Amino acid sequence: MSSAARTLPSAGPRRAIVLAAGVVMALVIALLAATPAHANTLDGVWHNPYGNDELYATQPTERSPRDPMAGENVTVRATTWPIASGQSVWVTWSVNGVAQTPRGASWDYNSGNNTYWKIDLGSFARGDDVEYTVHADVNGGVQRDIGPFSFATTSWSTVTDVTNVIDNGTSVDIVTGDSAGDFTPKVRFAFPRLDGYDVQIAPNGSGLNLSGLTSYSVTNGASQVTIATSQLVLKIDKSPYRLSVYKGDGTTLITRQYDPAQFRNIGWASDGSSTVTKIEDHFLSPAGERFEGFGERYDRLDHRGTDVHNYVYNQYQDQGTSRRTYYSVPYFANSAGYGVHVPSTRYAIFNLATYRSDMAGFTVDTGGALNSTMTYQFFTGDQTAMLDDLTAETGRPLLPPKWAFGLWGSANEWNTQAEVDTWLNQVDSSGIPHSALVLEQWSDEATFYLWKDAQYTPTSGSGSLDYADLTFPSGGAWSNPKQMIQDAHDQNIKVILWQIPVLKENFTSNPSTAPQQHLNDKAYAAAQNFLVKDGDGQPYRIPTGQWFGDSTVPDFTSTAATDWWMSKRAYLLDDLGVDGFKTDGSEALFGRDLQAADGRRGDEMHNAYPNEYTRAYNDFVQQKTGGDGTIFSRAGTSGGQSQSIFWAGDQSSTFGAFQEAVRAGQSAGQSGVPFWAWDLAGFTGSFPSSELYLRSASQATFSPIMQYHSEKADPTPSEARTPWNVQARTGDTSVVPTFTKFANVRMNLVPYLYTEADDSASTGVPMMRAMSLAFPGDATAATYDQQYLFGSQLLVAPITTQGQTVKDVYLPSGEWYDFWNGGRAIGNGVKQYYAGKDTIPVYARAGAVIPLNLNDAYQLGGTIGNDVETYDNLVFRIYPLASSTYDYFEDSADAHRTISVTSDRVARTVSVSAPALTTAATYQVSGTKPTGVSVAGSALTEVSSVSALASASTGWF
């Protein structure tokens, strides 16, 4: 058997391949259509109904479809090896226990050392139970068999008329008929809050467990059931079942389910007796309604007219065109004023005016149990209010440490201490403030917790090593990592180390063989059941061809496995003072039958595993750093925001990817993920132009987290996205000074950033706010996906098109002030804004109060350090409105300080009311020069210059 053939069984669930000498059936078999490499040879046959169970790819030995429904033609595909003349393939099979005439396979194609076959079984009816075994022989002998396999044929059915109403005190059950006549379905409603409800659909009437508030009423009328709270009214037509949702007045319609005379609303796929595989619901959606959210989505903000898959996936580049994402959230906000969240990690598809132009729905996999239910949460209000409710359910965003809001630097090529030392020196000499250093290529690329080239005596798999156990030879990649990290800390720069959740299997280079410590760890993890298991209870292996293919995966649902895994990494924080981890990967579980220690199977764990991974690392880092560390992650789903900062993954260095990143940041924010970043100017592909680099840097200055990163490990010339390297590579001498200005602006913004971040952590409101979220009453604003409200006060419109210098900026109704020069503009229209590469269109809304940390010259973008704890000059920049307030987060006192502003344009006065602060503050009011300034009735002294103001204890200029 060739090595290619051997990979086939290992790629799927392990099954016994039965060798048998059976009677050859009289079948019509297609002969091989190619000249065989061997004669009269058959080493094996393989078929796996589900393949890798991957959404975006199929294997050549799968069943199609994987889960047949009534009327669908079923094809079984198989392979034999080696290629040889005289081979035959067939299936023996039964339907509902009745044997069928064996059916022969037709030759499909040859590839490598394998022949591929397909067998058409035809279509089946609802309730048909089909069992089959795949056989192969060569010239009537050397028979090989695999199986048996089976499937239950399902079809869709739906609710009919309401037959009963049951008030449980904390929930209401609506009992209906079943269009197929098999079940007694129930739909349960519960109210976790007065302005929203949860629904649980139970096709066979069992498995219900929802409960909520008691403050609702039920009216069971002749033709309609009404369930009402003080803020929401649900009206359910009885014949047939159809829900309409109204505001508390009972007359203002929010939405209603789809008309069952046109197409089912609530439905489920079942065989009628043993399984329910999918449950769905559909709503009426008039033209023009927008559907936004769904996690980090790169291609658009409004998903109307598309099908959206709730499926976490490692998509290298082209995330927008492929419509795939690392971070998927089964939640949408509808512009009609409602949102839906499906609190399930199983696969779901949202069909948004695709199947029918006025219908939007969602279909959720169940796992197949007969008593399966599907729950969804229904929210009302604008997007901000709904995100507050959503994150109250799924987890409040974790506020990052304050240092995380400075500039981060990263490059894969920083794989030696000499490289890092050079970078630290360049940061220092350039005066460009940085607050974090991310090292990806630091480890041995085997254990991923020991430094590359470190020498040590391997310990047992159960043991752990300390820094004192490591020595660093002359000429190695790292000579003294502890000192290096201390050097970074001395520059007020935190250090983040890269991680991946695998026990690596294949070694070809870097290193070429697995070190003994790694082998000890692998053996121990397998013996202790610390690994995710496949359907046969053996250690699961990532499919060949995937990133880290064939590797095993630690099971973070096991406390013992998590503790063991983290014990290996404890020295990095305890002995070296590392400040966190870049938790990459985790989109690697494929297969519905995988087994996790907490009892969940692969169909749930595919999307859930990233959250288990980030939860484990975040708990570890928070405990070790006392809350001053963070993790930086790529993948996740609902709830991930309570554990990590996230970044947009592997994007190319193009303007198209730049535009996708701007959408992705807004979309993530609309889905409850406020702390987000991207690799400014891209991660891979062609080296960015100075134009792309500076445009990206200006945008990243006004994004939740600002960082640069590059892919290549040992490039010549350097691929690092540092400003000095970009300047050297492009020859554009404006890069370093312009980037320096943006980096300084970033540090100027830290008081504002941390105040807005604190609000995000408390309420779920994003820092990077899509226009539809920030201005819910403005339908025109919603169409602008390349601008956003940054925090509550600043409108940012990055230039994301190559060669563009004039941006059409849409300003919503009201007054707006240019953040750079104070120029006033009137909104409710488009303003053309000229911006060279050294700036970006940014406006402050009228009434804004923006806390800044400025230098003594009060220069926005002027030289300033990277200290986020002590401000050089706390300044509140005020853009007066008749009346406005701003809650400033004074983190040093753990207090929120309300600053109130009133202005009278007739009297030409502005009044600012501010509480006492622990830091001296300057109040900078946008407007014409005043005739005088007073505090508590006492006039302040006018000084002659900015420098005089900086040195005075009080005064005005």
Q: What are the catalytic residues?
A: 584, 587, 650
Residue of 747, 552, 603, 770 whose CA lies nearest to 676:
770
**What span, in angstroms and rounded, lies between the C-alpha atoms of 749 and 743?**
10
DSSP β-ladder status, 849-853 and 824-826:
unpaired
Q: Are 565 and 581 in contact (CB under 8 A)?
A: no
DSSP β-bridge partners for residue 282: 361
Residue 645 DSSP class: E
Q: Are 896 and 890 in contact (CB under 8 A)?
A: yes
- Residue 451's Cβ-side half-sphere holds a number of Cα atoms within 13 Å equal to 26
Please give the backbone phi and psi of residue 647, each rounded to the nearest 5 degrees, phi first.
-130, 165
Q: Are 254 and 338 in contact (CB under 8 A)?
A: yes
Peptide bond into 400 cis (omega under 30): no
Radius of gyration over alpha carbons of the chain, in Å?
31
Q: Are 264 and 185 in contact (CB under 8 A)?
A: no
DSSP β-bridge partners for residue 631: 581
Burial class (CB in 10 A: 0-12, 13-18, 19+), 27: middle
- Give helix 559-567 / helix 602-625 axis angle, nearest 10°: 50
SS3 177: strand
Q: Are 648 and 734 in contact (CB under 8 A)?
A: no
DSSP β-ladder status, 494-499 and 87-95:
unpaired
Quote the tokens at residue 554.
């630690």
**What span, in angstroms and rounded, lies between the C-alpha atoms of 238 and 612?**
43
654: alpha, beta or left? (left if phi > 0; alpha if psi -120 to 50): beta
DSSP string, 326-350: SBEEEEEEETTTEEEE----S-EEE
Dihedral (CA of 860, 863, 869, 874) sign: negative
Residue of 367, 326, 361, 327 whose CA lies nearest to 344:
367
